C-alpha cells in the first residue's frame, strides 16, 4: 500500500480512513514479523513510514472529532472558555504579612 500524505488523508471519508488504517496495521505486523524471523528487509524505512501514516490518520480522526459541528456549539465552546473560574490569590501571603 502506498504511503498517504496528509492532504489525501483529509480528503478521505471516515470509512475509507478506517479501511486504510486496518490495511496499514496488517502490513505493519507483517513487516515486524519478517524482521523478527530474520528475513531480509526489502525496505528498511518502510516500518517507519507505515507508523507515521497511521499517526497521521489518527491525528486527522481526532481533529474531526474535536471540531464543533454547528454554530451554536462553537458559541458554547467559546462561552465555556470565558466562564472559567478565576484563581483568587491570598493577598496577605503576597504582601508577606503572615509571618513575623
pTM for the model: 0.65
Mean pLDDT over residues 44-49, rounded? 92
Please enumerate in sequence order all residues whose Cβ is within 8 A of that of 54, keeping only pairs 6 or more positions apart, or say none. Answer: 21, 24, 25, 28
What is the sign of the dihedral through the CA atoms of 47, 49, 50 and 54?
A: positive
How much is the pLDDT for 88? 62
Mean pLDDT of 60-68: 89
> Per CATH, the architecture of 6-95 is what?
Orthogonal Bundle (1.10)
DSSP label at 25?
H
Note whether 29 and 51 are within 8 A (CB): no
> Is pLDDT of 91 > 90?
no
What three-state secondary structure class fits 52? helix
Mean pLDDT of 82-86: 65
Amino acid at each position: 500500500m502506498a504511503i498517504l500524505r496528509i492532504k489525501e488523508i483529509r480528503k478521505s471519508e471516515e470509512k475509507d480512513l478506517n479501511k486504510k488504517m486496518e490495511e496499514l496495521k496488517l502490513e505493519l505486523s507483517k513487516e515486524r514479523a519478517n524482521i523478527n524471523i530474520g528475513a531480509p528487509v526489502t525496505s528498511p524505512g518502510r516500518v517507519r513510514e507505515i507508523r507515521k501514516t497511521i499517526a497521521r490518520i489518527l491525528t486527522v480522526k481526532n481533529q474531526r472529532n474535536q471540531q464543533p459541528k454547528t454554530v451554536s456549539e462553537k458559541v458554547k465552546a467559546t462561552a465555556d472558555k470565558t466562564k472559567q473560574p478565576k484563581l483568587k490569590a491570598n493577598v496577605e501571603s503576597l504582601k508577606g504579612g503572615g509571618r513575623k
